[in-house]
Amino acid sequence: MSNEPESPFLTLHEFVKEAKSRLSPGNWDYLVGATETETTMLRNRAAIDAWAFRPRVLRDVSSIDVSGRFLGRPIALPVMLAPVGGLENFDPEGGAPAGRATTAFGVPIMVSSVSMPGLQPMAEATAGGIKVFQLYVRGDFDWICGITQQAIDAGYDAFCMTVDTAIYSRRERDIAKRFVKPWRARATGQHFQAALNWDDVRRWKERFPKTPLALKGIATAEDAAIACEHGVEVVYVSNHGGRQLDHGRGALAVLPEVVKAVDGRAKVWVDGGFSRGTDIVKAIALGAELVGIGRLYCYALAAAGEAGVAQMLRLLETEVHEVLGLLGVTAFGQLDGSYLHPVAPVVQPHVHSAFPLTNLTDPGYR
């Protein structure tokens, strides 16, 4: 970390301010918004803030390993860039700069099927890096299998189906400003996503037994258990950043019951409001293997492209190193629930409440 290149961004909140200044009002609202009352998004943050640390002292923490694992493989940090649609609205190259940054840093990226530059160009941008292809279903089972085979042939390390978008939600920030997202305007075949079911998962696993499958959008112990019964390798706890079902639970509040239900039969990943090194450490202590970063990397991408994402990862690494050392551990493997204690949050949750120095204004709604 001592050899970090110089960057104008020295704190994570600075990416938020710069992104706000560069994005159009419509693209900004798409990035920060959620569905209807935005309660689920707020609960994501509240759930993270509802845990305090129980640090141990007088332990030798002069050498700290912040690395994580991806399906058993070592990675630089236990984080992954989560799939985000429409990245081309944040950078002209879409997700390619983020892919190059993750490859150089040594963490995975999950590539969205509704983000440019597309499956094959993203594979090329992440050559040598770890990557997962995430699919929104827009065709029948044969269509799904065709996309899967393309991803396998392109060198993706795992495949992901998003399972919490059977009905597309009402994002009222977009509606109130009459902003129509280009990728939504050209989307077809939503009824195929609505029809996706456990039998499709079973048939997919029979067709592609050697390809790790993640189901993204699991929000209960019951569905986590069913996923394991179907041989799914990754149970991905997510509520779509609060963009789908309103009045859901925060992702970190869901994580413990899912980890218990999985009981080691699959890996557990999680996303939903994770914005700081402390957030990452809490999730790993509660049993996650990997933490998905969404809005935060979009701010960095919009602010400074590939260099912004690279600096965001370095800042997260610095924060994680600090937290582990102050907790009295030298590696993530030493963490467990004993390092956490439930508390009442002290900050009113907000999409940017992890960044108290951020002061943004909004142009108002129709």
**Catalytic residue numbers?**
240
Q: 151 to each of 34, 125, 146, 193, 363, how far by Cα in Å?
A: 29, 14, 9, 19, 41
Taking the C-alpha atoms of residue 349 and residue 143, their distance in angstroms, rounded to an integer, is 41
Closest Cα to residue 255, out of 233, 274, 275, 278? 274
Closest Cα to residue 281, out of 10, 50, 66? 66
Q: 273 to each of 45, 247, 355, how far by Cα in Å?
A: 5, 15, 12
Residue with tokens 């920060």: 32
- 109-112 and 340-342: which strand pairing? unpaired
CB 98 within 8 A of CB 115: no
Helix (H, G, I), strand (E, B) or coil at 109: strand
Torsion sign across C-alpha atoms 63, 317, 265, 263: positive
Taking the C-alpha atoms of residue 246 and residue 294, their distance in angstroms, rounded to an integer, is 18
Residues found in the chain: 366
CB 261 within 8 A of CB 225: yes
Buried b (16+ CB within 10 A) or exposed e, 120-135: ebbbebbeebbbbbbb
Read off the tokens for 30: 């798409």
